[in-house]
Amino acid sequence: MKQQVCKRCVMDNMGDPTIQFDKNGYCNYCTTAISTKHLCYFPNDEGKKKLENLFQKIKDQGKNQRYDCMLGLSGGLDSSYVAYIGCQYGLRMLALHIDDGFDAPQTTKNIDKVCDSYGIDLIVEKPNEEQFADFTRAFLRAGVPNIAIPQDNVLFASLYKYAQENRIKYLLSGSNFALESILQKGHTYDAMDKVHIIDIQRRFGELKYDGTLPLFSILEKRIKYQYLFKIRTICPLNYVDYNAQCAFNTLHETCGFEYYGDKHCESILTRFMQRHYLPKKFGVDKRKSHYSSMIVSGQMTRDEALNRLSEPLYEEEQLKKDLEIILNKLSISMEEYDKIMGEAPKNHFDYRTSLINRGSQTLLKMRQKIIGY
C-alpha cells in the first residue's frame, strides 16, 4: 500500500483503514475538526463567560455537599491544568488517581504538587495487583491494538463510583479540542465495553475474575450514572485558550510541575503502547493525531510536525527500561513477548463485543471491503 499523507495535517493511511482524502489531498480528520471547531472550542471571551456560568452552576448545586466536583488526575498536562483552572475559580475538588504500578517516576511527584498547591483532596486507588496484571496480560496476549483498555476502564469505573458515593454531580475531564480534535479511528476501541474486556480475560488470562477489579460497562455509565444519578462530565479546557506550552509554564510556576515527556507519557504502560507496541505491530504512530490536532489549533505548523515525526519514537535505553518493568509486572518472559510481537495483529472485533458496539464492526468491515484494505 502506498503511503498518502494529508497535505494540511500529518495524518496518513498507514495503520488507519478509516481515513479518507478529498480531491485537494486533505483528510477527513482535519476537515471535520476545522468545520466543527466553532461549535466546541471557545478560546475567547465567549468561552470565559460560558465557563464562569458553568462553574457557578456547579458551585450552586454543590453548596450543601463537601465537594463541588471530581476529576481523574493522571499526572499529565491535561488533567493537571484542569485542576489549576478549577482552583482559580474556587471549586472544591476531589481528585482520583489510579496507582496501577505503571506511573512514570515524575508522575507521582507532579500529582502531589498539584494537589498540595491547589488545595485538592486526593484519593489514590490501587487496583488488585494480580487481577489488574492478568487483565492487561490477557490484552497483550490477545494481540489487539489498545492494550490499555483495562487501565482506562478501571479509572472510569472508580471515578463514577466515588462520585456517586460522595454525591458529586459533575466530573471535570481533561479531554479537549486543542490537543485532541483529531483521534485516529482505525486500530482503536471503546474502553467501556465490559463484555469485550471479560471475554479477552477469559480467553487469555490465567486467573478467575473475582470481581475485586472495578469494571463497568457503557450501559452502567449511561443508565446508572448519567441517567439515574445525573452525573455530568464537563470539559473546561474547551472554554479557555489551551496552549500546551503555556499550560506547562503556568503549572511549573504555580506548583513546580515538571516535564514528564510527550502526551500520555505519564504512564509507562501507555508510553510503551503508543511509542513501541502500536508502531511496531500495527504501524500506528499516535504522535500524528496529537501533532495534527496542534496544527488545527494553531500550536504547531505542518513543517514542525513533520520534523518532530522524524525524531525517534523511543530512546533505546528508555525502551529497554520500560519493557523490563512491564514484562516483570505482567509476569511475561522475553521469549513470550517476542512471540506475541511476531504474531499477526488482531482486531478488537475478532473477539466478543457488546451489542452496542457490534454496529461499528459491520460499518468497519464494509469500509474495508470498499477501499480494499
What CATH code is carried by the domain that includes residue 181?
Answer: 3.40.50.620
Q: Which parts of the chain are beta strand (E)?
A: 69-72, 93-98, 121-125, 170-172, 232-234
Q: Is residue 16 part of a domain?
A: no
Q: Is residue 373 part of a domain?
A: no
Give the model's pLDDT for residue 305. 98
Residue 131 CB neighbour total at 10 angstroms: 22
> 188-219 b/e with 16+ CB inside 10 Å = b?
bbbbbbbbbbbbbbeebbeeeeeeebbbbbbe
Q: Is residue 372 part of a domain?
A: no
Residue type, 340: I
Burial class (CB in 10 A: 0-12, 13-18, 19+), 38: exposed
pLDDT tens for the chain, residues 1 to 373: 789 999 999 999 998 888 999 999 999 999 999 999 999 999 999 999 999 999 999 999 999 999 999 999 999 999 999 999 999 999 999 999 999 999 998 999 999 999 999 999 999 999 999 999 999 999 999 999 999 999 999 999 999 999 999 999 999 999 999 999 999 988 889 999 999 999 999 999 999 999 999 999 999 999 999 999 999 999 999 999 999 999 999 999 999 999 877 776 789 999 999 999 999 999 999 999 999 999 999 999 999 999 999 999 999 999 999 999 999 999 999 999 999 999 999 999 999 998 776 655 555 555 444 443 3
Q: Is residue 371 part of a domain?
A: no
Give the model's pLDDT for residue 355. 79
pTM, full prediction:
0.92
The whole-angstrom separation of Cα 85 and Cα 83 is 5
Boundaries of domain holding 233: 29-348
Q: Which triple of cell numbers denotes residue 249?
A: 509554564
Give the model's pLDDT for residue 17. 84
Using the 8-state DSSP alphabet, how is residue 69 labeled?
E
Q: Is residue 68 part of a domain?
A: yes
Residue type, 362: T
Query: Which of helix, strand or coil describes residue 245?
Result: helix
Give the model's pLDDT for residue 2. 87
The whole-angstrom separation of Cα 267 and Cα 273 is 10
The whole-angstrom separation of Cα 246 and Cα 136 is 35
The whole-angstrom separation of Cα 74 and Cα 252 is 16
Query: Which of helix, strand or coil describes residue 153?
Result: helix
Q: Is residue 152 part of a domain?
A: yes
Residue type, 370: I
Give the model's pLDDT for residue 103. 94
The position carrying cell 488488585 is 128
Count structural domains, the chain.
Answer: 1
Q: Is residue 353 part of a domain?
A: no
Q: Is residue 108 part of a domain?
A: yes
Q: What are phi and psi of 61, to 5 degrees?
A: -75, -20
Asked if 240 and 48 touch (Cβ cutoff 8 Å), the reply is yes
Q: Which triple of cell numbers denotes residue 193?
A: 465495553
The whole-angstrom separation of Cα 258 and Cα 255 is 9
Orientation angle between helical segments 129-142 and 149-165, nearest 10 degrees? 140
Residue type, 53: N
Nearest to 86 by CA among 113, 68, 109: 68
